[in-house]
A and B are shown apart, each in its own frame.
Chain A
Amino acid sequence: MAAVAAAVAPTRMEFLKLKQRVSLAQRGHDLLREKMDALVIEFFEVLRNIGKARAGALKQLSLAHQAISVCSAVMGTIETRQASREAKRELEVEISTRYVMGIVVPTLEVERVERDALARGYSLHTTSSLLDEASKEFEKALGLLVKLAELEESARAIARELERTKRRVNALEYILIPRLKAALKFIEMRLDEMERENFSRLKRIKAMLEAMA
């Protein structure tokens, strides 16, 4: 209370100003808490999707590695590596953004990850059809990895915003609003005290005047 007393002037003007500040802080606190709740919903939803996407991507990668192992065994390691060097490596990814309560969350859209054998770029005469199978499995895995990357980046962005919002809500709830309310209470008490002082002063003057008369 002593710190509050030093910081505020006990006037009616200050009292009204503080009342407005409490109302603003309360409103901000309520809205930011709603935002925090909504962010928690989004965060858990993204986490759930990440779990599924990661499991799917790992399964697909395992299939792809199995396929490339078989291909290497049949075609030979050097030939498989040579074919991989010849393969086209471009992938068109459209990166846009979506907003989750003001947070920029990336959206990655891939037109076509899976290509036909001719579009891959390696020679079809010198390679086995097993390489086509392995390439197909890797392309499927790539599509899943792009999706996983989108989700992981979304989770990171939402977590950052959640942390920031939680800090603001806690600062309002435990520091700003209690301080403002304490200052408000101090001014109220001081104004009451001043009123009582005035009243007793008037009574005293009245008694003195009556004694003189």
Chain B
Amino acid sequence: MNADRVLKFELSRLNVHLPERRISLKEALESTKPQVATRDGSIHRFKREELDLLAKTVPEAGWEKLYLPILIALDPKLGRGAARITGGAEAKVVGQILGKKSMGEELLIYRPEVAVVRRKLPTTTQYFFVPR
């Protein structure tokens, strides 16, 4: 039973790094300290260079629709290494970065692509582990 307790604890802290509330790219660009509060009470800051890269990639009209951090959802149901980006603006921007066409509100990416996205956007993207 002790193993179950450890496991439940591990599962409960898998997503503590996620923000309480995501902010739009517009809000982040306007802020002097672009940051979000996370579920465990800490602060996650966005790097200015990344925000500038996103601002160049997304047209100004879309700044309010793009919410940060962009969540890379890792769902065991999708298979090992596959990830999902949800949200129209988010899928579009990740698609543009990868040179991939996004179909509607969702974009499926695979491990090497996840690595590319994380390399280009280390603070403006975050992993999200989808519980079944």
Contacts and interface: CB of A to CB of B under 8 A. Distances in A.
Interface of A: 21, 24-25, 27-28, 30-35, 37-38, 41-42, 44-45, 96-102, 104, 107, 168, 171-172, 176
Interface in B100-132: 111, 114-115, 118-119, 122-123, 126-127, 129, 131-132
B16 A30 contact: no
B22 interface: no
Give the secondary structure class of B's interface.
mixed
6 contacts: A24-B4, A27-B76, A35-B74, A35-B129, A41-B111, A41-B114
Given A32-B10, A37-B74, A176-B3, 14 more contacts: A27-B76, A28-B11, A30-B132, A33-B76, A34-B76, A34-B129, A37-B80, A37-B111, A45-B118, A45-B119, A96-B43, A98-B45, A98-B123, A171-B3
A35 B14 contact: yes
B81 interface: yes
Interface string B1-26: 00110111011011011000000000
Interface of B: 3-4, 6-8, 10-11, 13-14, 16-17, 38, 40, 42-45, 74, 76, 80-81, 111, 114-115, 118-119, 122-123, 126-127, 129, 131-132
Nearest to B128: A101
B7 A45 contact: no
A37 B81 contact: yes
Contacts, number: 79
Nearest to A105: B122
Nearest to B33: A96
B111 A31 contact: no
A31 B17 contact: no
A102 B13 contact: yes
Contacts of A97: 42-43
A44 B16 CA distance: 23
Contact of A31 (B6, B76, B119): B76
B3 A31 contact: no
B80 A33 contact: yes
Given A31-B14, A33-B80, A45-B118, A98 B111 contact: no
A59 B10 CA distance: 43
Nearest to A46: B122
